[in-house]
Structure 1
Amino acid sequence: MSSWRDLCAARKQRQLDAIPKQWIIHVPPDEQRNVLDIPRNCGLLTPRELEITETDNVQTLLHRLRTAEWSSVEVTTAFYKRAIIAHQLTNCLTEIFVERALKRAQEVDDYLKIHGKVIGPLHGLPISLKDQFCLQGMETIMGYAGWIGRIAESDSVLVEILYECGAVPFVRTNVPQTLQWGETYNHVFGRTTNPYNRYMTPGGSSGGEGALVAMRGSPLGVGTDIGGSLRIPSTFCGLYTLRPSYERLPYCNAVNSQEGQESISSVLGPMTNSLEGVKAFTKAVIDARPWRKDPLCVRKEWNEREYQLGDHGGRDAKLCFAVMWDNGVIKPHPPLKRALEMTKKALEAAGHRVIDWENHRNIEIYKIGVSIFNADDGTDYLADCALSGEPLIQTMSPDTDAHEYALDQPLARSILGERRHLSAYELWQLHREKRALRKSHLDHWEATVSRTGTGRPVDAIISPAVAYAACPHGCNSDDFYTSFCNYLDYTASVFPVTHVDKALDRPMPPHEFRNHEDEAVYKLYDPELFHGLPVGLQLIGRTLEEEGVIAMTEVVVEALKAATQT
């Protein structure tokens, strides 16, 4: 049998061989950290292809595809070329299947020409997929050497629905081994870097999507999220996303790690450069009635009343947002504090009320969630590694030039102590405690009615998604700002606010550190290193409130835009 290293090297070579030779560009040395402008300047893309790929608004793309102003073949070709450029610069892709994608795009164009109507609401739109969504006849490797050669016998339900909606799946994107990292590296395809600064991580586990969409190599990507895997790369890469509640969107027949762990469900969602894209994807998938194909999917149609904020006084009502300045576990860096201040000021200028969020039992929530994830003591990961003999990755730090504040043993160990394999009964008790904490937190949220002045509890919480902007590889140890929502099953979005500014975001004096990770995160901040990176925030709504969260995010984004224009 071949060694796991040989398997990985051969698979990586097959990936390289799938790149059309005429799409190979000159890649700058690692010393050039920001590579966002290279697609515009490398000479591979025509002016029309640049126009297509730099159309951020997904609704604009869909309109031009519906009216045949742009064909799906030319749109797919343009994004494919740019995706290949992005891959050469950031190593963001896994599966490259140009001919298959263009054949699908031609079918879509032919349908419009013959029938005079679109196939569905995503007609002709190229969509990238995280390397968990099975495509019939193709490998789904998910970062494990032992999964090389594993061919999908059928499409995942999401892919079936995307075809029904007229979309064109065209690439798949990189993930970390095990998926349980907020960064993106595996032995098969290697490390994905952040196009804003390649010394930094794009986040994870949907980091390949983050880097690709940030480089305009895809108009809309689909990632997954069990602890922040949509929101972390979205905030690190300046994107919009939605973390829906458990089972609102169809996950059936997608592969995953820790399959069978159903107390904290992984969910899927869109990652785009426009909030309009988040709505277009979410509504299209829900309107396809996914519960007909996925037995776990919630039977809930798109609710226009909720999108019109019917549970929040209506579109013309003044809302009350609560700001979580600090979750009491990890103190955010100065750029995050400034982004929160900017958002508060913008919302108040738009007539909305903003109050401080009072944290509630956060350490207990964190401890329960991490204990559930660790209940098998790594048995699932080790079994998949044993298929090839590859080692379980223990660190996201690079072999050379690793940052001095890399945290390879994050907060969980200091809170939980040494891990061990729990019995079924012990796991049931964790599930029971988690349910009790969800009820306690719901009551706490409802009690805010006494402070809002609207007659309603707080409409949404605004918080950091991560305590820092994109950080050096090996340093992203914090996920509690995001996993908080996964443990409580709160719907949440991420939206970009600003960029790190070394002149404005000066280091703060030391505070009383809560734990070793809080101390390391404080010491990590360097205005020069972080300068220019995107800074995003998270909006947290209630369980199964996808329509309302999208609408409230629109309110916040409109307020921020208005504030920058005054």
Structure 2
Amino acid sequence: MSSETHSWQDLCKARRRVQAESIPKDWLIDLPPTDLRDVRDVPRACGLLSPRELEITETTDTDLLLLNLRTAVWSSVEVTTAFYKRAIVAQQLTNCLTEIFVDRALARAKEVDDYLKATGRPIGALHGLPISLKDQFPIKGLETIMGYAGWIGRYADSDCVLVEILYEQGAVPFVRTNVPQTLVWGETSNHVFGRTTNPYNRYMTPGGSSGGEGALVAIHGSPLGVGTDIGGSVRIPASFCGLYGLRPSYERLPYAKAVNVAPGQESISSVLGPLSPSLAGVRVFTQAVLATRPWRRDPLAVRKPWAWDEYALAEHGAGGRMCFAVMWDNGMVKPHPPVRRAMEIVKTALEAAGHTVIDWENHRHLEFYEVTERIFAADDAQDYLAACALSGEPLIQTMSPDTDAHEYALDEPFARTIVASAGTSLWQLHARKRDLRKSHLDHWEATVARTGTGRPVDAIISPVAPYTACPHGCNSDAFYTTLTNTLDYTTSCFPVTYADAELDMAEPPHEFFNHEDEAVYKLYDPQLFHGLPVGLQLIGRTLEEEGVIAMTEVVDKALKTM
């Protein structure tokens, strides 16, 4: 079907039929009631997966999964089948998938198994591991629709560089996952595939724009997913869905031949990063990609192999007594009580492990906010409008559901009020961003006077968002994450706890920073948010992926020890 002879609605309906027909009929389950909010137990209870398949898919330690694959304890075919079944269950519960190609993925898994049997050696560091991909990473012969009706029928004539690397390292790409139209939302919905929901609570968003990945990995429908992040699009879904994630610095990991919106926008670059139920998955993925020397395939990729001395925290006192700073709020929007409690938990755990924790002093955040939002609005949405014009579909203006939308007392996000007074040229914005980055670096270096370690602050602990996963249409703020995209600071995210209605009582009103801060405050309801995962982020320096992963391991160990 072409957009020249059919309406965009027809195109979307036809594509959804194709997707439905790609699901093996014996993998369909009896669906739970639509008002069942927490669906994480459905894969175990539905009867589709055997006990062995449940054991495989509930093995969250990526190192153990890979060990069992390369020693033939489990074959790639059975591991891929198990995760595929669970992914299809996840699709029926949360609508998280776009591309489903079962036969092709199982043929790849058999190829991997045959190689191990014939040679006695694994193909690579990701041997046999099924990996899900956000709908931005072309796979030869498959469509890459990226949430646009006008992109239906765009088949890739080659793999993107990341997919080439995954094949080289023995992985089995097996599904692609849903995104929002335009990718610029912290939620996940589009006219083609519809809305993705959070398996912890389907009334809530899994975040965005890698929300399909977040929902899928959270329900153990994939052992490792790959998303992208230009303003928090890996970290927000990971945090909302109880996962680990990594936002690497610009060009550390290869983005070549991936598709994107506003592809010429390089003022604040989009980066790719992993989402995983274990921190080991983040490390394994990053090591595996860097081991292939991606700068020989992507001309923008930084020529920097995995640095073992950095992973050993050579620049951070070898991981001995470190100093972390907590950003209790960013001066734009104050976090909800569960997020505040999570930061207190991390502070207590780190101090119990012998580290120092100080308060982070915010530095010129309003200026960063203004520059960032003006950069993102520099083309006045012309790229998005042009993509929508291919089919005639409307540009989505809200992520609120058409029916039973949650009430949210926000008419206009604070970001839009900032952009409304435009008039600065893009080059001037670049100059301001450069000056702000230098100023922030100097501010960070000056913390050496407060740490007691002889070094500046080793890392910053911060909210990922001012709330946990929130109702659809209510995720209006992303500055906690966008700040580090503008600064190009390597940033991880990690789960800490769960919102608890008894522990996280509503607080009296504070002096509001702005109208959005007030709206976010009014959104909080202890019962509404009860049981949702609470994640935080660890902010390191530019191109410090190894150190950030290692420091996150320190924090994670301290939390689990406590």
The bucket for the TM-score relative to the shorter chain is over 0.9
Task: Identify the residue that residue 477 of structure 1 maps to in structure 2.
Answer: 476
Q: Read off the aligned partner of 2:382 and give its amino acid letter.
A: T
Counterparts in 2 of 1:308 and 1:408: CA distance versus 1, 3 Å = farther
Deviation per CA, 1:308-333, whole angstroms, max 9, x where unpaired? 00011113x20000000010000000
Superposition CA RMSD, Å: 0.8
SS at match of 2:60: coil
Q: Read off the aligned partner of 1:303 and give its amino acid letter.
A: A
- Cα separation, 1, equivalents of 2:531 and 2:468: 10
Report deviation, 1:409. 2.7
Report deviation, 1:263. 1.2
Deviation per CA, 1:211-251, whole angstroms, max 9, x where unpaired? 00000000000000000000000000000001000000000
Task: Identify the residue that residue 364 of structure 1 maps to in structure 2.
Answer: 367
Aligned identity (percent) is 74
Q: Read off the aligned partner of 1:394 and give its amino acid letter.
A: Q
Q: 2:147 aligns with which of 139, 143, 147?
A: 143
Contact 2:76 2:113 in 1 (8 A): yes
Task: Identify the residue that residue 378 of structure 2 maps to in structure 1.
Answer: 375
Task: Identify the residue that residue 548 of structure 1 maps to in structure 2.
Answer: 547
Task: Identify the residue that residue 8 of structure 2 maps to in structure 1.
Answer: 4
Q: Read off the aligned partner of 1:7 and give its amino acid letter.
A: L
Deviation per CA, 1:52-75, whole angstroms, max 9, x where unpaired? 000000110000000000000000
- Cα separation, 2, equivalents of 1:186 and 1:541: 34
Contact 2:408 2:474 in 1 (8 A): yes
Task: Identify the residue that residue 112 of structure 1 maps to in structure 2.
Answer: 116
Taking the TM superposition and a 5 Å limit, the aligned residue runs for 1:255-270 are 255-270=259-274
Task: Identify the residue that residue 456 of structure 1 maps to in structure 2.
Answer: 455
Contact 1:249 1:297 in 2 (8 A): yes
Task: Identify the residue that residue 228 of structure 2 maps to in structure 1.
Answer: 224
SS at match of 1:127: strand
SS at match of 2:125: coil
SS at match of 2:460: strand
Task: Identify the residue that residue 172 of structure 2 maps to in structure 1.
Answer: 168
Work out whether 1:26 is the aligned partner of 2:30: yes
Taking the TM superposition and a 5 Å limit, the aligned residue runs for 1:11-90 are 11-90=15-94
- Cα separation, 1, equivalents of 2:25 and 2:187: 30
- Cα separation, 2, equivalents of 1:31 and 1:129: 29
Gaps of 5+ in 1: none
Q: Read off the aligned partner of 1:248 and give its amino acid letter.
A: R
- Cα separation, 2, equivalents of 1:314 and 1:513: 41
Task: Identify the residue that residue 311 of structure 1 maps to in structure 2.
Answer: 315
Taking the TM superposition and a 5 Å limit, the aligned residue runs for 1:156-235 are 156-235=160-239
- Cα separation, 2, equivalents of 1:461 and 1:170: 36
Report deviation, 1:23. 0.3
Q: 1:400 aligns with which of 403, 409, 414?
A: 403
- Cα separation, 2, equivalents of 1:236 and 1:222: 16
- Cα separation, 1, equivalents of 2:16 and 2:43: 23
- Cα separation, 1, equivalents of 2:43 and 2:161: 33
- Cα separation, 1, equivalents of 2:116 and 2:196: 37
Report deviation, 1:406. 6.2
Contact 1:406 1:474 in 2 (8 A): no
Work out whether 1:320 is the aligned partner of 2:319: no
Work out whether 1:243 is the aligned partner of 2:247: yes
Q: Read off the aligned partner of 1:336 and give its amino acid letter.
A: V
Q: Read off the aligned partner of 1:372 and give its amino acid letter.
A: I
Deviation per CA, 1:245-278, whole angstroms, max 9, x where unpaired? 0000000000000110101000001000000010
Report deviation, 1:515. 1.2
Task: Identify the residue that residue 440 of structure 1 maps to in structure 2.
Answer: 439
Deviation per CA, 1:154-192, whole angstroms, max 9, x where unpaired? 100000000000000000000000000000000000000
Work out whether 1:101 is the aligned partner of 2:100: no
Work out whether 1:337 is the aligned partner of 2:337: no
- Cα separation, 2, equivalents of 1:407 and 1:135: 40
Deviation per CA, 1:297-354, whole angstroms, max 9, x where unpaired? 0000100000000011113x20000000010000000000100000000000000000
Q: 2:291 aligns with which of 269, 283, 287?
A: 287
Contact 1:408 1:474 in 2 (8 A): no
Gaps of 5+ in 2: none
Report deviation, 1:415. 2.2
Task: Identify the residue that residue 537 of structure 2 maps to in structure 1.
Answer: 538
Counterparts in 2 of 1:293 and 1:407: CA distance versus 1, 3 Å = farther
Work out whether 1:503 is the aligned partner of 2:498: no
Q: Read off the aligned partner of 1:157 and give its amino acid letter.
A: V
Contact 1:176 1:204 in 2 (8 A): yes
Q: Read off the aligned partner of 1:192 and give its amino acid letter.
A: T
Work out whether 1:122 is the aligned partner of 2:121: no
Contact 2:373 2:418 in 1 (8 A): no
Contact 1:397 1:406 in 2 (8 A): no
SS at match of 2:81: helix
Deviation per CA, 1:467-525, whole angstroms, max 9, x where unpaired? 00000000000100000000000000000000000000000100111111101100000
Instruction: List, as ranges, runs of 4+ consecutive aligned residues in structure 1 with deviation greater than 6 Å.
Output: none
Contact 1:396 1:408 in 2 (8 A): no
Task: Identify the residue that residue 387 of structure 1 maps to in structure 2.
Answer: 390
- Cα separation, 2, equivalents of 1:373 and 1:419: 12
Task: Identify the residue that residue 153 of structure 1 maps to in structure 2.
Answer: 157
Task: Identify the residue that residue 416 of structure 2 maps to in structure 1.
Answer: 413
Report deviation, 1:408. 6.2
Task: Work out the number of aligned pairs and report it.
Answer: 558
SS at match of 1:313: helix
SS at match of 1:314: helix
- Cα separation, 2, equivalents of 1:233 and 1:376: 26
Contact 1:461 1:539 in 2 (8 A): yes
Contact 1:242 1:494 in 2 (8 A): yes
Q: Read off the aligned partner of 1:218 and give its amino acid letter.
A: S
Q: Read off the aligned partner of 2:542 and give its amino acid letter.
A: T
Task: Identify the residue that residue 527 of structure 2 maps to in structure 1.
Answer: 528
Contact 1:407 1:476 in 2 (8 A): no
Contact 1:449 1:457 in 2 (8 A): yes
Q: Read off the aligned partner of 2:128 and give its amino acid letter.
A: G
Deviation per CA, 1:422-456, whole angstroms, max 9, x where unpaired? 7xxx1111011100000000000000000000000
Contact 2:409 2:522 in 1 (8 A): no
Q: Read off the aligned partner of 1:143 and give its amino acid letter.
A: G
SS at match of 1:504: coil
- Cα separation, 1, equivalents of 2:115 and 2:196: 37
